[in-house]
């Protein structure tokens, strides 16, 4: 029972920390604020996560693991690879729909020079998971060959991430949609 309680507390901490990091990044991940939001003492956070770096790494790891699982669900529900690619921007749009939040990995990537190494590894994993999934679907859809898949996948990932950044900076989800439409018109994403 104590282990379940510990897991539940850890999950609550990770969920709250993710929301904070999506709004304020690593630098804005204030442990006192986090503890207040979760309803525990700040010192209790260290029972679950020995340092801010360990907490941020756990948040980022869970984030990319959840993203990878969501992409696999998308693939399972959408057997047409080109249709999967059409739906990919929606995975980034969801953050904007959630109080104009931004992808946690994008936010932390902007802070890259100030991140502890353990966090950098997990942030890179998020990009790697997305690029690999995009590349696999680009090849499966016959849009590019395996030789060019990673290059095109990186371009799509960067474009969609950039669209999210621009839309967040203006608090305008319609801008995100317009940018995604322009990527489709330009041929970066399938129409």
pLDDT confidence bin for 67, thresholds 50/70/90: very high
Asked if residue 101 is part of any domain, the answer here is yes
pLDDT, tens digit (0-9, with 9 covering 90-100), for 71-123? 999 999 999 999 999 999 999 999 999 888 888 878 888 899 999 999 999 99
| pLDDT given at position 109 | 86
User: Which has the minimum average pLDDT: 18-22, 63-67, 87-91, 176-180?
Assistant: 18-22
Residue 34 is assigned to a structural domain of this protein: no
Per-residue pLDDT averaged across 148-170, rounded?
96
State how many domains the chain has.
1
Instruction: Measure the CA–CA gap between 175 and 135, rounded to whole angstroms.
Output: 26
Q: What is the pLDDT of residue 3?
A: 46
Residue 125 lies in a domain: yes
Enter the pTM of the model.
0.89
Domain hosting 94: range is 57-186
Of the chain, the percentage scoring pLDDT greater than 90 comes to 81
Q: Determine the pLDDT at residue 86.
A: 97
Mean pLDDT of 129-138: 98
Q: What CA–CA distance (Å, rounded) separates 87 from 78?
A: 9
Q: Please give the pLDDT value at position 7.
A: 57
Dist CA 160 CA 183 (whole Å): 9
Residue 6 confidence (pLDDT) above 70: no
Q: Which residue has the tokens 């984030």?
A: 63
Q: What are the tokens at 36?
A: 């207040």
From CA 165, how far away is CA 134, in angstroms rounded?
20
Residue 12 counted as domain residue: no
Give first-to-last CA distance, the chain, whole Å: 51
What's the CATH code of the domain at 91? Answer: 1.10.357.10
Q: Decide if 33 is inside a domain.
A: no
* Highest-scoring range by mean pLDDT, 43-57, 109-123, 138-152: 138-152
The answer as to whether 16 is a domain residue is no
Q: Does the residue 172 lie in any domain?
A: yes
Q: Give yes or no for a contact between 137 and 84, defined as CB atoms under 8 angstroms apart.
A: yes
Q: Do the beta carbons of residue 179 and residue 157 sit within 8 Å?
A: no
In a domain, 6, yes or no: no
């Amino acid at each position: 029972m104590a282990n379940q309680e510990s897991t539940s507390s850890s999950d609550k901490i990770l969920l709250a920390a993710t929301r904070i990091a999506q709004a304020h990044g690593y630098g804005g991940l204030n442990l006192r604020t986090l503890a207040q939001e979760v309803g525990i003492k700040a010192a209790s956070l260290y029972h679950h996560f020995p340092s801010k770096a360990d907490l941020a790494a756990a948040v980022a790891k869970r984030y990319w693991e959840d993203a990878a699982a969501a992409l696999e669900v998308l693939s399972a529900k959408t057997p047409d690879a080109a249709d999967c690619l059409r739906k990919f921007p929606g995975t980034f749009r969801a953050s904007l729909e959630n109080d104009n939040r931004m992808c946690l990995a994008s936010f932390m990537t902007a802070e890259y020079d100030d991140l502890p190494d353990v966090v950098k590894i997990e942030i890179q994993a998020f990009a790697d998971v997305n690029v690999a999934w995009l590349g696999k679907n680009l090849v499966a859809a016959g849009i590019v060959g395996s030789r060019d898949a990673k290059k095109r996948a990186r371009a799509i990932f960067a474009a969609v991430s950039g669209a999210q950044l621009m839309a967040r900076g203006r608090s305008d989800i319609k801008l995100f949609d317009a940018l995604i439409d322009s990527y489709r018109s330009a041929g970066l994403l399938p129409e």
